[in-house]
A = this chain, B = another copy of it.
Amino acid sequence: MSSELTRILLAEDQGMMRGALALLLGLEEDMEIVAQVGSGDDILPQALRTRPDIALLDIELPGRSGLDAAADLRVRLPECRVLILTTFGRPGYLRRAMEAGASGFLVKDGPVEDLAAAIRRVLAGERVIDPALAAAALSAGPNPLTQRERDVLSAAVDGATVVDIAAKVHLSPATVRNYLSAAIGKTGTRNRMEAVRAARQNGWL
């Protein structure tokens, strides 16, 4: 009877990965994929429609990010557990995931068997987090960048010049340079490219 199957929502942008995971989990006796989405914007609507027990969310999605969607679910569908499934084990991601109320955080590097196991553990009320990653997240400390610094740094990816950034963020070029300088200082780097890289690495963007 269907009430015994755990209902799963799967959000993942890469079609092949999504399909493969869906097929895989479909093979498990006690699981059922009730929704597959490839965009972050579809997560909440589909979740509200299909009422899954657990949502498997990638972080980097077109549209709304998986972390934002996790926060949405926390509010609008609190009985639905969230398991973040991501390529990048970035400390800041893990931190934000926990703050958004996720019950687990899994990187795609591990073996597939981990996935079903993690789902079962989350359903049982456990929190699933890679210990090494948790340590890294704690030792890295919280995000040192202010909102504006993040804005400016985000706008600085892929080579925008100071005036470009200024236009994008509606600030004076002089101010932009000040924020960039601050971000460079806080990340302990030597220029904006390194700063962007460091911030990305830590999941601070």
Chain A interface size, as a band, is: 20 to 34
If A14-B108, A16-B112, A110-B16 touch, does A159 touch B23 (CB 8 Å cutoff)? no
- A14 to B85, alpha carbons, bound, how many Å? 12
Residue pair B159, A189 in contact (C-beta under 8 Å): yes
Cross-chain contact A194 with B158 (CB below 8 angstroms): yes
Indicate if the CB atoms of A112 and B20 lie closer than 8 Å.
yes
Chain A interface SS verdict (over half): helix
Cβ contact within 8 Å between A17 and B19: no
Residues of A within 8 A of B (CB): 14-17, 19-21, 23-24, 87, 108-115, 158-159, 161, 189-197
What are 8 residue pairs bridging A and B, where the CB atoms are less than 8 Å apart in the complex?
Answer: A14-B87, A15-B109, A16-B21, A19-B112, A19-B113, A159-B189, A159-B193, A159-B195
Residues of B within 8 A of A23 (CB): 20, 24, 112
Contact of A161 among B108, B113, B190 (CB under 8 A): B190
With A23-B24, A24-B23 as given contacts, are A158 and B193 in contact (CB-CB < 8 Å)? yes
Assembly CA distance A112 to B196 (angstroms)? 34
Q: Which residue of B lies closest to A21 (CB)?
A: B20
